[in-house]
Amino acid sequence: MTTDANLVHNQGVTAPLGFRAAGIAAGLKASGKPDLALVFNEGPDYAAAGVFTSNQVKAAPVQWSQQVLKSGRLRAVILNSGGANACTGPLGFQDTHRTAEELAAALSNWGTETGAGEIAVCSTGLIGDRLPMDKLIPAVTEIVHEMGGGMSGGTDAAHAIMTTDTVPKEASLHHPAKWNVGGMAKGAGMLAPSLATMLVVLTTDAVATPEQLDSALRKATRRTFDRLDVDGSMSTNDTVLLLANGASEVAPSQEELDAAVLAVCDDLAGQLMADAEGITKRVLITVQGARSEGDALTAARIVARDSLVKTALFGSDPNWGRVLAAVGTAPFELNPDAISVSFNGFPVCIDGTGAPGARDVDLSGADIHVVVDLRLGDESATVRTTDLSYAYVEENSAYSS
């Protein structure tokens, strides 16, 4: 969607000045792969903002980080894969609290006086099991010592938060005015099976207040991560954080900050879609001609979540009737006889009935853009989604462990 010549993919959270990161194997994953990541802000500022899952069932680290973020200040983020620490009760919350306390102590010993209330915690993995604290606690001290100043730390961190992701996801934007935004991400929605969750950490060396960060982050997530819908499922652990340290000594305008954060979020959202579980098609659903952007988004989500649309796209089948049937369930008034649909620019349905050649449209490629025109107004919205494949069923039906 957005493209920016200043965006690169080989750097992430350590692209901005004054951020360190690391990723190590703490032994939380049975595979022995990296499963613990740290992002550390060297200052001079410690401004931060966050957005979290709107699921009412919230994991312990989400509850903790929401509380911590009220101060608008973060020194570090510690993230683990290999366990969601969700639905684990008061003891699970104590585990999160203890992780933050241990990291604060380790950072203080290392020379940076830090309190647990300056540390956000993110977790991803199977819901319902306690984390193995006997493995996690020693690793929290170890990762502080591993924390390098170079670029590789950011990439190591991006690897350590992977669950069923096949590639690490990083992006960074280098603004001509000499300030930077970087980020890393994993997963998307609850597309990852028992090993769920979207986690995103963004960093910037711009000078910005927590309020400016919060505004930029909410605007960006609303148009990017919120419009990525792989299976309609919402994780208990979704977290997107933005940390700013002012190390560039440049204070961009709100508009500049908004644009840069949006560009990085949009790029990471595209990477999340492209690596969604079981994906064989990258699908954009655009609904235009709606009375409001909200209506357009609602209708686009309904189409994006429809199993019959998604299986048809998996089969490269231009079955536009299923798109009409899905749109027809929208909770606002439609004019069915005015709806048009195109697949990759080819009209398949005009004024509610089939267009000539509609059954012969070639959808065999990996990218499919479905455009639905409601002809009710001028507003539009686009949702990123995927097809529903054998591989999705396979990855999500394997036993929890």
| Residues acting as catalytic residues | 197
**Among 27-35, 198-206, 212-220, 385-393, which window interacts with a second copy (CB under 8 A)?**
385-393
Our finding on whether 253 is near a second copy (CB under 8 A) is no
- Give the chain's length: 401
Question: Minimum distance from CB of 6 to a second copy (Å)?
Answer: 37
Measured on CA atoms in the order 288, 290, 293, 298, is the torsion positive or negative?
negative
Question: Minimum distance from CB of 47 to a second copy (Å)?
Answer: 30
Our finding on whether 256 is near a second copy (CB under 8 A) is no
Our finding on whether 133 is near a second copy (CB under 8 A) is no
Question: Minimum distance from CB of 337 to a second copy (Å)?
Answer: 7
> Total number of residues binding a second copy (CB under 8 A)?
70
Q: Which is nearer to a second copy, 14 or 389 (CB)?
A: 389
- Among all chains, which residue has been given the structure tokens 């001609």? 289
* Residues of span 38-57 touching a second copy by CB under 8 A: 54-57
Choose which of 45, 118, 129, 170 interacts with a second copy (CB under 8 A).
129
Q: Which is nearer to a second copy, 339 or 381 (CB)?
A: 339
Longest CA span, the chain:
72
Quick note: the x/- pattern for a second copy over 174-213, rule CB under 8 A, is ----------------x--xx-x-----------------
Q: Which is nearer to a second copy, 3 or 397 (CB)?
A: 397
Quick note: the x/- pattern for a second copy over 336-375, rule CB under 8 A, is xx-x---------x-xxxx---xx----------------
Closest CA to 312 of 260, 379, 389: 389
Our finding on whether 311 is near a second copy (CB under 8 A) is yes
Closest CA to 301 of 322, 326, 321, 272: 326
Our finding on whether 105 is near a second copy (CB under 8 A) is no
**How many Å apart are CA 259 and CA 257, to the nearest integer?**
5
Choose which of 133, 151, 308, 338 interacts with a second copy (CB under 8 A).
308
Our finding on whether 66 is near a second copy (CB under 8 A) is no
Residue 77 CB coordination number (10 Å)? 27
Our finding on whether 88 is near a second copy (CB under 8 A) is yes
Binding residues vs a second copy (CB under 8 A): 54-58, 84, 86-89, 92, 126-129, 190, 193-194, 196, 231-236, 305-308, 311-312, 314-315, 317-322, 324-330, 333-334, 336-337, 339, 349, 351-354, 358-359, 388-390, 392-394, 396-401
